[in-house]
A and B are shown apart, each in its own frame.
Chain A
């Protein structure tokens, strides 16, 4: 017994040290973000002065509330459209005749190997042809599309493994149509998969800068990650780092808060696809 307690303490200390090293860039950045603007001494002196100057500077440079609002709007709309489209398609694929379903499943899954960088200019032209160039509809459509392959794959597999066909048959005997069965039986039973899609796809959408960089040029449309791009020039300048660090945390804080409150959904959501898929 005593030996196992000692082992646990040793392992905990070992891991603790590893984590300290692992998180040291974040800790140093955090300490740097609280410095006075003019303080350019070594960043290894942790938390040597606490001031909000850098945050004030970053806050106004980022047009924080406007960018935050844009991020929230774009992420929410994209995620909602994604949930509706991928659950409908995933259900259809799971319940279509074997060969047809398998074809569509592979057809969508193949999209995972495509990367946006491969075809930016055609994407750009299509977006402009549709008349949604320079509107938030453009990145939203691409976020939905880019997330579809994985989401459909996850959702289809989840239905196949956890929604009994017999249950749907019973509903049908009772006179329920396909749409009704889908809404009243399938959707409630697949909540874990839907949460998983929100977590695994919503977080990257929130954090993405690429589609925004391509399709949103007006400053008033910028999302939080996009405002970070404005700081790229400042990286060369060692005296700008306090503000840069503050900007990093300002842009990360909303997601950290969400994580703090919804942590168990994050852990559950990440593992649904991996364990059941």
Chain B
């Protein structure tokens, strides 16, 4: 009897969170999938058109282009972000007296709003007067880099801004992971004659497996959902060279009144992110077991 009562109360505890979640998160997503099968413009009437939106997206190239851009962006954020954060954490963990100071300073970009970060970096990248332009011309470069105005570099230049903002968080997470490694293990590695390199490579990094999984998943999901910097820095351009999934969806829905098509792409994005995240998570967990 008492157990049953407890269960009802626990289920009642779920109600507030569940209401928010079902009303504002799940039902809009389900509605979107439905609209993906229609030709709705976002206003007025619509017809049910089956899979035509998907065919259109494939034929016109938006689907492949935005998937490719999103994957590139996410890969860059995961690889570069983790490489940078892990190396910094390893260096800062070397019992430096200045560690606390550097850790504090390094976290500052993470406190800024993405829109503020986008403003600062649009100055850095600005052609003709930006920071990169000024520095390269001061040291005598005559060929001017226009990183966000060039379709070959715009996407990665945008992804770089994301790693700039998130690396402080990642580094702090890695530092905590490093501090969790028991001192005895490092001691015994030392007694066994492991040098600094071998200790890092064969002891510390395997012991960080769990932390690496956390940071990889955070970077991956953040990268897949990238929108803010594309929105504020490049507007998806030049052309569609930096248009990610979320930005393409947003633009089709809002600027182009092609809501049906936008939602068809959202359905593809949802499935894609779900499948890839689960696969990567399982892979990382298996690696953790091995490590």
List residues of chain A with CB under 8 Å of any chain B CB.
8, 11-12, 15-16, 19, 22-26, 28-29, 32, 42-44, 84-86, 88-89, 91-93, 95-97, 104, 108, 110-115, 117-123, 125-126, 130, 141-142, 144-146, 148-149, 152, 177-179, 182, 203, 206-210, 224-225, 228-229, 231-232, 235, 238, 241, 244-245, 247-248, 251-252, 255-256, 259, 263, 266-267, 270-271, 273-275, 277
Known: A148-B20, A274-B211. A252 touches B123 (CB 8 A): no
| A-side contacts of B273, CB under 8 Å | 113
Report whether A122 and B120 are in contact in the complex, using a CB–CB cutoff of 8 Å: no
Measured between C-beta atoms, what is the minimum distance from B75 to chain A in Å? 17
| A-side contacts of B51, CB under 8 Å | none
Chain A binder among B150-158, B168-176, B185-193: B168-176
Which residues of chain B (37-78) have a CB below 8 Å from chain A?
Answer: 42
B246 beta carbon closer than 8 Å to chain A: yes
Measured between C-beta atoms, what is the minimum distance from A104 to chain B in Å? 7
What are the interface flags for B139-178 relative to A under an 8 Å C-beta threshold, 1 for contact and 0 otherwise? 0000000000000000000000000100001001100110
| A-side contacts of B114, CB under 8 Å | 207, 209
A148-B20, A245-B123 given. 16 additional CB < 8 A pairs? A12-B96, A15-B98, A25-B121, A26-B109, A44-B135, A85-B20, A88-B13, A118-B269, A119-B31, A149-B21, A225-B116, A235-B122, A252-B116, A255-B111, A271-B172, A275-B180
Residue in B9, B111, B211, B266 with the greatest tally of chain A CB atoms within 10 Å = B111
The chain A residue with its CB closest to the CB of B270 is A118
Known: A122-B32, A179-B9, A209-B115. A267 touches B228 (CB 8 A): no
List residues of chain B with CB under 8 Å of any chain A CB.
6-7, 9-11, 13-14, 16-18, 20-21, 23-29, 31-32, 35, 42, 88, 91-92, 94, 96-98, 102-116, 119-124, 126, 128-129, 131, 134-135, 138, 164, 169, 172-173, 176-177, 180, 211, 214-215, 221, 224-225, 227-228, 232, 246-247, 249-250, 253-254, 259, 263, 266, 269-270, 273-274, 277
| A-side contacts of B113, CB under 8 Å | 206-209, 224-225, 228, 251-252
A contacts with B: majority SS: helix
Report whether B10 and A95 are in contact in the complex, using a CB–CB cutoff of 8 Å: yes
| B-side contacts of A16, CB under 8 Å | 98
A110-B6 Cα distance, complex, nearest whole Å: 27
Report whether A225 and B115 are in contact in the complex, using a CB–CB cutoff of 8 Å: yes
Report whether A178 and B9 are in contact in the complex, using a CB–CB cutoff of 8 Å: yes
The chain A residue with its CB closest to the CB of B11 is A92
| A-side contacts of B124, CB under 8 Å | 25
Partner of B32, one of A19, A118, A235: A118
Report whether A25 and B120 are in contact in the complex, using a CB–CB cutoff of 8 Å: yes
Known: A118-B249, A251-B113. A11 touches B25 (CB 8 A): no
Report whether A23 and B108 are in contact in the complex, using a CB–CB cutoff of 8 Å: yes
A37-B31 Cα distance, complex, nearest whole Å: 50
Known: A118-B249, A145-B24. A248 touches B102 (CB 8 A): no
The chain A residue with its CB closest to the CB of B135 is A44
Known: A85-B17, A238-B129. A118 touches B138 (CB 8 A): no
| B-side contacts of A244, CB under 8 Å | 119, 123
Measured between C-beta atoms, what is the minimum distance from B259 to chain A in Å? 6
A26-B259 Cα distance, complex, nearest whole Å: 39
A229-B57 Cα distance, complex, nearest whole Å: 31
| B-side contacts of A263, CB under 8 Å | 104
Report whether B42 and A121 are in contact in the complex, using a CB–CB cutoff of 8 Å: yes
Report whether B131 and A28 are in contact in the complex, using a CB–CB cutoff of 8 Å: yes
Report whether B14 and A93 are in contact in the complex, using a CB–CB cutoff of 8 Å: yes
Report whether A274 and B111 are in contact in the complex, using a CB–CB cutoff of 8 Å: no
Measured between C-beta atoms, what is the minimum distance from A105 to chain B in Å? 11
B contacts with A: majority SS: helix
| B-side contacts of A119, CB under 8 Å | 28-29, 31-32, 263, 266
A120-B274 Cα distance, complex, nearest whole Å: 19
Report whether A121 and B102 are in contact in the complex, using a CB–CB cutoff of 8 Å: no
A133-B233 Cα distance, complex, nearest whole Å: 29
**Could you list 6 A-B pairs, sorted by A, with CB under 8 Å?**
A113-B273, A232-B232, A244-B119, A255-B111, A274-B176, A274-B211
Report whether A235 and B227 are in contact in the complex, using a CB–CB cutoff of 8 Å: no
A21-B136 Cα distance, complex, nearest whole Å: 14
Report whether B246 and A117 are in contact in the complex, using a CB–CB cutoff of 8 Å: yes
Report whether B211 and A89 are in contact in the complex, using a CB–CB cutoff of 8 Å: no
Report whether A207 and B29 are in contact in the complex, using a CB–CB cutoff of 8 Å: no
Report whether A96 and B108 are in contact in the complex, using a CB–CB cutoff of 8 Å: no
Measured between C-beta atoms, what is the minimum distance from A190 to chain B in Å? 14
The chain A residue with its CB closest to the CB of B217 is A112
Measured between C-beta atoms, what is the minimum distance from B221 to chain A in Å? 6
Measured between C-beta atoms, what is the minimum distance from A132 to chain B in Å? 11
Nearest first, the 6 closest Cβ-Cβ pairs linking A and B are A89-B17, A271-B176, A207-B113, A119-B28, A122-B28, A122-B31
Report whether A26 and B120 are in contact in the complex, using a CB–CB cutoff of 8 Å: yes
Report whether A248 and B246 are in contact in the complex, using a CB–CB cutoff of 8 Å: no
Report whether A92 and B120 are in contact in the complex, using a CB–CB cutoff of 8 Å: no
Partner of B119, one of A126, A235, A267: A235
